[in-house]
Structure 1
Amino acid sequence: MKAQSRSYEYMKQRFSLLAQQWFGQLPYAETVCNGILMELLGIASREADVERFPSKSLALADAVQQYILEHYREPLKLDTLSRHVNRTPNHVTSVFRQIKGMTPVDYLHEVRVSAARDLLLNTRMTIAQTAEYLGYCDQSYFNKVYKRITGMPPSSLLSEKRAP
Structure 2
Amino acid sequence: MKVTSYTFDKSSNWYGEWQEGCQDWTLVLVTYGRCVYWIEEKKQVLEKGQWLLIPSSIPFYGRSVPTMLHEKYVVQFDPGTVQASFPLFKLARAASRSTSKYELILDRLRHIHQQWQDKQPYYQTLCEALLTELFVYLHREWDQEAATSATLQLVEHMKSYIQNHYREHVTKEELGTCISRSANYAATLFRKVTGQTISEYVHAARIKTAIYMLRHSALTVTEISDFIGYNDPSYFYRVFKRLTGLVPTDLVSDRENVRK
Higher strand share: 2
- State the percentage of identical aligned residues: 32
Match of 1:106 in 2: 200
Say whether 1:6 aligns with 2:100: yes
Q: Is the 8 A contact 2:167 2:206 kept in 1?
A: yes
* Secondary structure, counterpart of 1:137 in structure 2: coil
Using the size of structure 1 for normalisation, the TM-score is 0.73
Conserved? CA contact 2:100–2:193, under 8 Å: no
CA RMSD of aligned residues (A): 3.0
Asked if 1:117 is matched to 2:117, the reply is no
Q: Which range moves more in the overlay, 86-95 or 138-147? A: 138-147
Provide the residue aligned with 2:177 in structure 1: 83
Deviating more after overlay: 124-133 vs 4-13: 4-13
Pair 1:50-2:144 in alignment = yes
Which residue in the other structure is 1:27 paired with?
120
Q: Which runs of 5+ in 2 are unaligned?
A: 1-93, 256-260
CA distance in 2, matches of 1:129, 1:80: 27
- Picking from 126, 133, 151, the partner of 2:227 is 133
* One-letter identity of the residue aligned with 2:154: L
Gaps of 5+ in 1: none
Q: Secondary structure at the residue paired with 1:3?
A: strand
Output the amino acid matched with 2:113: A
Please report how far the alpha carbon of residue 80 of structure 1 lies from its aligned counterpart in structure 2 after TM superposition. Answer: 2.0
TM-score where L is the length of structure 2:
0.50
What is the one-letter code of the residue matched to 1:117? I
Deviation string, structure 1 residues 13-62 (Cα, Å, up to 9, x no partner): 54344334423x15354344334423432332222123133544333223
Larger radius of gyration: 2
Instruction: Supply the distance in 2 between the matched residues of 1:160 and 1:37 (Cα, whole angstroms).
Output: 30
The counterpart of 1:18, out of the listed 81, 105, 112, is: 112
Shift of the alpha carbon at 1:108? 1.1
Report if the CA contact (8 A) 2:211-2:251 is conserved. no
Q: Which residue of 1 aligns with 2:188?
A: 94
